[in-house]
């Protein structure tokens, strides 16, 4: 699957442009509450579509990550910004102002904090619950385990996501403190606590079909019920290059393989990301039906 020269970006990877009043409303609410989103910080290709639909993925604990994954455009440093004790309240107010029925909360990695930010994550969940008790909450967390994970789960999110990012062989594109096994452990512990779990794979980094299938088998064996597969797109020239552009048909084939392994929701498409169509995937998982893009 390695290409000597990367072909021109195919037609199916045209980014959707922002449009509509919903886009402007999301932008205004985020700005007025001083919040960050992974949509901006990670240069997500779905920003136009999601903001145009009135949704966004909130990124807490600042905009500086203490890890340096080679595929990610979020700024990195040994220490992040001091935690803002008012952030949970401001986040909850933004969720209420946007009238969200489903909220996705993620974060930078904060290895510089004693609990790596697990307590702050839990505080954000509780704050949203207090102001918007009917809103479903999905959290996309770092590789918390043990007491860190327990603190987040005690706040009772509706679904817990953590990304393995890529197949075993290509894990070096992640920060050296991350690994497939550590991520599997996080997901297995969450599954053992009885909460629906979700993960995602970025494709086009040089993985083989067999490696993708093996990763899916391991994830399903760990109890993961929702899987997302999307095309890796190089955010800036500083990140690792794309090796291959995966066709929509190949994404459909991977989706079929994932369904055959027992995943209850599969989101597999070039622009798919962890929080893309998150509400639809969760709804399908809850009802026992299969969701696919």
Please say if the pLDDT value at position 52 is more than 50. no
Q: Give the integer Cα–Cα distance in Å for 138 and 277.
A: 12
Instruction: Please enumerate in sequence order all residues whose Cβ is within 8 A of that of 270, keeping only pairs 6 or more positions apart, or say none.
Output: 12, 13, 230, 231, 245, 246, 248, 251
Q: Give the integer Cα–Cα distance in Å for 97 and 84.
A: 20
The mean pLDDT value for 269-273 works out to 84
Quick one: angle between helices 20-32 and 87-97, nearest 10? 160
What domains can be seen in the chain, in order of their start residue? 15-287 (3.20.20.70)
- The predicted structure's pLDDT at residue 1: 44
In the chain, what percentage of residues exceed pLDDT 70?
77
- The predicted structure's pLDDT at residue 98: 85
Question: Whole-model pTM?
Answer: 0.86
Give per-residue pLDDT as tens, 97-119: 888 888 889 999 999 999 999 99
Please say if the pLDDT value at position 203 is more than 80. yes
Give per-residue pLDDT as tens, 150-160: 999 999 999 99
Q: Do 266 and 255 touch, CB atoms closer than 8 A?
A: yes
Give per-residue pLDDT as tens, 211-252: 999 999 999 999 999 999 999 988 888 999 999 999 999 999
């Amino acid at each position: 699957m390695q290409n000597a020269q990367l072909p021109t970006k195919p037609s199916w990877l045209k980014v959707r442009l922002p449009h509509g009043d919903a886009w402007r409303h999301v932008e205004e609410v985020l700005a007025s509450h001083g919040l960050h989103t992974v949509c901006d910080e990670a240069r997500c290709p779905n920003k136009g579509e999601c903001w145009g639909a009135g949704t966004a993925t909130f990124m807490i604990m600042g905009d500086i990550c203490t890890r340096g994954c080679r595929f990610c455009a979020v700024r990195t440093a040994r220490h992040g910004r001091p935690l803002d004790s008012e952030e949970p309240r401001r986040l909850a107010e933004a969720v209420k102002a946007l009238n969200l029925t489903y909220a996705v909360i993620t974060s930078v990695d904060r290895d510089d904090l004693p609990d790596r930010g697990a307590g702050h994550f839990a505080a954000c969940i509780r704050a949203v619950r207090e102001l918007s008790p009917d809103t479903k909450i999905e959290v996309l967390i770092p590789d918390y385990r043990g007491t860190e994970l327990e603190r987040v789960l005690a706040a009772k999110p509706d679904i817990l996501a953590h990304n393995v990012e890529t197949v075993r062989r290509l894990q070096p594109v992640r920060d050296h403190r991350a690994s497939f096994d550590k991520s599997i452990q996080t997901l297995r512990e969450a599954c053992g606590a009885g909460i629906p779990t979700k993960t995602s794979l970025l494709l086009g980094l040089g993985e083989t079909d067999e490696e993708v299938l093996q990763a899916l088998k391991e994830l399903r064996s760990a109890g993961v019920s929702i899987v997302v597969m999307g095309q890796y797109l190089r955010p800036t020239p500083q990140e690792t290059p794309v090796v291959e552009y995966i066709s929509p048909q190949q994404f459909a084939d991977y989706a079929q393989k994932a369904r055959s392994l027992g995943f209850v929701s599969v989101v597999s498409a070039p622009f798919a990301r962890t929080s893309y169509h998150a509400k639809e995937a969760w709804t399908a998982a809850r009802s026992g039906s299969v969701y696919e893009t």
